Amino acid sequence: MEAQKELEPPQPKDERSQSLILESVKQFFQHKLAVIGSVIVFLFLILAIFAPLIAPYGINEQSLGERFSAPSAAHWFGTDDFGRDIFSRVVHGARISLWVGFFSVLGSVILGTLLGLIAGYGGRVLDAVISRLFDILLAFPSILLAIAIVSILGPSLQNALIAIAIINVPTFGRLVRSKVLSIKQEEYVLAAKAVGMSHRRIVLRHILPNSMVPVIVQATLAIGTAIIEAAALGFLGLGAQAPSPEWGKMLADARPYLVQAPWTLFFPGIAIMLTVLGFNLMGDGLRDTLDPKMKKIK
């Protein structure tokens, strides 16, 4: 009985594991860059949630008399070719970018985890088939694959989201698979098997929770990449469509006015960069505190 208890994985309600969580949280807050990243992400979240309250003008409110006015007290980021307030549009754009970033990654995580679990736990044939599928998807440069998918589904923000979700599936799939393969050999899993636990229960209770840490770290980093990819698709005209204030689309629309009104291009780009930087810093911090072993990989 004693021996069996030792083989059990650390339970979440355990005092030891709670202090481990506390320890990780403490470490995370001591990680300066991670805190900066979290603050940036938090600020953009606030912008996104309260966009209608923060933005002084409507996203499509045109004032043709004020076309291309430079940044001023009335229009902090200036106005664009239709006299629309760029600050208001950038603030509303945060909603779109965070939404696409979050949900596309959620899609990749769910699908990737599922396929990774099947590949790692489902035996050789399934493993071979799924692993080859991942190899094939990874053989395409990701943005190109996204373009291919959008060219099938048709250009729209929703289809861009689906495309980004699909191209990131193999990253999570491989991660989960390799984690499952190593956890499968752990003594507590062997013990669970020995006492006759069902496969479903082993996977759901032991393998899945214990392989989630690298997935969370990777997901944070992937949100940043997904935001850039969505903006790239928007920029190419394959993502959000006019008059959406999606940051990539805003850059594409402002491109002809680079000479005349460069500020129309400054701010959406800075917004993309800052958001992505926030997620990258946060992801790096999470990796360092939750999973020190992964530190070397990146």
Are 176 and 209 spatial neighbours (Cβ–Cβ below 8 Å)? no
Contact between 248 and other proteins per CB under 8 A: yes
In angstroms, the CA 23 to CA 149 distance is 43
Nearer to other proteins, 238 or 290 (CB): 238
Are 70 and 78 spatial neighbours (Cβ–Cβ below 8 Å)? yes
Structure tokens at 118: 């099947």
C-alpha atoms less than 13 angstroms from C-alpha of 179 in its C-beta half-sphere: 26
In angstroms, the CA 13 to CA 271 distance is 40
Nearer to other proteins, 169 or 203 (CB): 169
SS3 8: coil
Sorted by sequence, the CB contacts under 8 Å of residue 13 that are 6+ apart come out as none
Strand partners, 97: none
Contact between 1 and other proteins per CB under 8 A: no
Contact between 5 and other proteins per CB under 8 A: no
Contact between 51 and other proteins per CB under 8 A: no
One of 7, 126, 153, 212 touching other proteins (CB under 8 A): 153
One of 184, 277, 291, 294 touching other proteins (CB under 8 A): 277
CB of 151 to other proteins, least distance (A): 6
Contact between 231 and other proteins per CB under 8 A: yes
One of 147, 166, 180, 208 touching other proteins (CB under 8 A): 147
Contact between 142 and other proteins per CB under 8 A: yes
One of 81, 237, 291, 294 touching other proteins (CB under 8 A): 237
In angstroms, the CA 285 to CA 298 distance is 12
One of 212, 236, 243, 294 touching other proteins (CB under 8 A): 236
CB of 133 to other proteins, least distance (A): 7
CB of 16 to other proteins, least distance (A): 31
Residue type, 211: S
Torsion-angle region of 80 (φ positive above 0: left; ψ -120 to 50: alpha; else: beta)? beta
Contact between 141 and other proteins per CB under 8 A: yes
SS3 85: strand
Contact between 296 and other proteins per CB under 8 A: yes
In angstroms, the CA 287 to CA 298 distance is 10
Dihedrals phi, psi of 122, to nearest 5 degrees? -90, 10
Distance of CA 276 to the CA centre of its chain: 9
Nearer to other proteins, 87 or 263 (CB): 263
Strand partners, 79: 85
CB of 149 to other proteins, least distance (A): 9
Nearer to other proteins, 58 or 141 (CB): 141
Residues of the shown chain interacting with other proteins in the complex, contacts defined by CB under 8 A: 132-133, 135-137, 139-145, 147-148, 151-154, 224, 228, 231-232, 235-238, 248, 251, 255, 258-259, 262, 265-266, 268-269, 272-274, 276-277, 280-281, 296, 298
